[in-house]
Amino acid sequence: MRAEAQVSFSPSVALLFALPLGYMNARWGAVFWMLAIVLSLVASIQILKSLYLSKDDRIHQLGYLFAPVFACLMVGQLDLFFLLVLALFLKFHAERPFLAGLVLFPLATKPHLFLPFTLVLLACSIYRREFRVLIGGMCGLAASLMVIFAIDPRAWSQYFHTLRTVQPMHLFIPTWSVQLRAFIDPTAAWLQFIPEAGCCIWA
């Protein structure tokens, strides 16, 4: 039986997540990935509990029963890693803003999901004239880019070549934005950016 290659449209920052799996076979890779996701969930809930709940409060346990958690676990999505990143940001941003920014670099894996968050962070930094979070974020992103370049100098050129070749804007992806485009005018690619634009304006 021949395995089919899967193409990822995530920026090359995602290579840092996938790299450890290259040293394992499929079975142990799946075990490692699932364990990492579960540990990210547990760590995130514990961090949020320490920030917002009393020691005796057990309402945080409902976080393990949140429906999207099961969806992420079943399909092995990165979202629970992002949850841990945001939990760490909330933990550090007041007292250690540079470190808070530094831990945000994994969000560059899915920049479209966090564009409203980035705009709010930028506006907040300008309003408060406190730029250590932004500096930390840029340092984390720069470090990740250098690591990726050291691993594979052609990673970014191959990524952009894939985008030009496959043209993901013409693929059907089961999201609300693509559904909106399909409902109104499948040929108008700009329609699927309306939800993102609305979130950015609201932010």
CA distances from 172 to 138, 176, 201 (A): 33, 11, 26
Q: What is the DSSP letter of 171?
A: S
This prediction's pTM: 0.81
Query: If the chain, 203 residues long, is cut into consecutive pieces of 10 residues, what is the mean pLDDT of each piece?
Result: 54 78 85 91 91 78 84 84 93 92 90 90 92 93 87 82 75 78 83 88 90
Asked whether the beta carbons of 203 and 119 are under 8 A apart, the reply is: yes
pLDDT of residue 133: 93
CA distances from 192 to 37, 171, 172, 186 (A): 30, 12, 11, 10
pLDDT of residue 125: 92
Q: How far apart are CA 188 and CA 181, in angstroms?
A: 7
pLDDT of residue 9: 67
Tens of pLDDT, residues 158-181: 878 877 777 777 777 777 888 888
Tokens of 164: 């030009």
DSSP string, 159-180: HHHHHHHH-GGGS---SHHHHH
Tens of pLDDT, residues 130-158: 999 999 999 998 998 888 888 888 878 88
